[in-house]
Chain A
Amino acid sequence: MKVRVHVSLKPGVLDPQGRAIHHSLEGLGFSGVNDVRAGRLFELDVAETTTDEALDDMCRKLLANMVIENYRIEKVAA
């Protein structure tokens, strides 16, 4: 089973990297970009028997830092 885990900074947490990317997009002439937030994507290939609970546990224990980040789990059709 393929699973994608999207990790993003919580709203309100300063994202200097997103800000730098935003600045660069503006420099390239792309107008109308209101904001950029940089995140992280993990692609996991896990056993079919892996439970939702186990996936949540992986995110909370390692993939995301719950002080500053949110995560979203997406199961991907093979």
Chain B
Amino acid sequence: MAFNSAVITFPGSNCDRDMAVALEKVSGTAPHRVWHGDSELPDGLDFIAVPGGFSYGDYLRCGAIASRSPIMQAVIAAAEKGVPVLGVCNGFQVLTENGLLPGALLRNAGLNFVCREVGLEVANAQSLFTSAYEAGQVIRVPVAHHDGNYFADEETLNRLEGEGRVAFRYAEEVNGSARSIAGVLNDAGNVLGMMPHPERAIETTHGGTDGRGLFESAIRGLVGA
């Protein structure tokens, strides 16, 4: 059964191709490529990816303008119907800006653009996106961001932790994120936002394949394998 996915591209997206390649390599089916100015998504999607980059030049706030673009209204509607949505890096910022995920991404505490591989602890291995991993497993995945410092108020952080909605934590200090949070799930569990780039770690030539598990989890969960 084909895996019917879509990758959204905004002006300034630069990881959309990486994301499309990752989805095709792992699922065997090339995703639809959807432009930000479109107002409708292809029918019957199994998975939507909002990729990294610098949408709209990161003007106003990272992800803010993209989050109000025509296609994102369709993505929000699809997410609310239960379609899995993955936001990576700038895509994570877009998903917090439009309210699909709680919190916000602030400038890195150290003020530096951080571009390197980091250790990432799988905090919840029972989600749609993480079932191929084991709880507590530390994987190696690249990060590349200037605004990845996750912020939410204490009440929200407590709720996220209590409900198992922290998907990934940094296993080392990276950007000052509250409680080392690197990736969070929405309350229904079908939307994941994360700053690290799993799509950049799916082939041995990337230096590691630890990111594959995320896509394998989603594909297995959706179409069976």
Contacts and interface: CB of A to CB of B under 8 A. Distances in A.
Contacts of B104: 65, 67-68
Chain B at the A interface: mostly helix, strand, loop or mixed?
loop
Interface in A6-44: 13-14, 16-17, 20
Interface of B: 60-61, 64, 68, 96-97, 102-104, 106-111, 149, 151-152, 176
Contacts of B151: 13-14, 67-68
Chain A at the B interface: mostly helix, strand, loop or mixed?
helix
Nearest to B97: A65
Contact of A68 (B60, B106, B110, B111): B106
Given A65-B97, A65-B104, A68-B106, A14 B64 contact: no
The winner among B64, B108, B151 for most chain A CB atoms within 10 A is B151
Nearest to B61: A65
A16 B104 CA distance: 15
B111 A65 contact: no
Contact of A67 (B107, B109, B111, B152): B152
Contacts of B64: 62, 65
Given A62-B68, A65-B97, A16 B109 contact: yes
Nearest to B62: A65
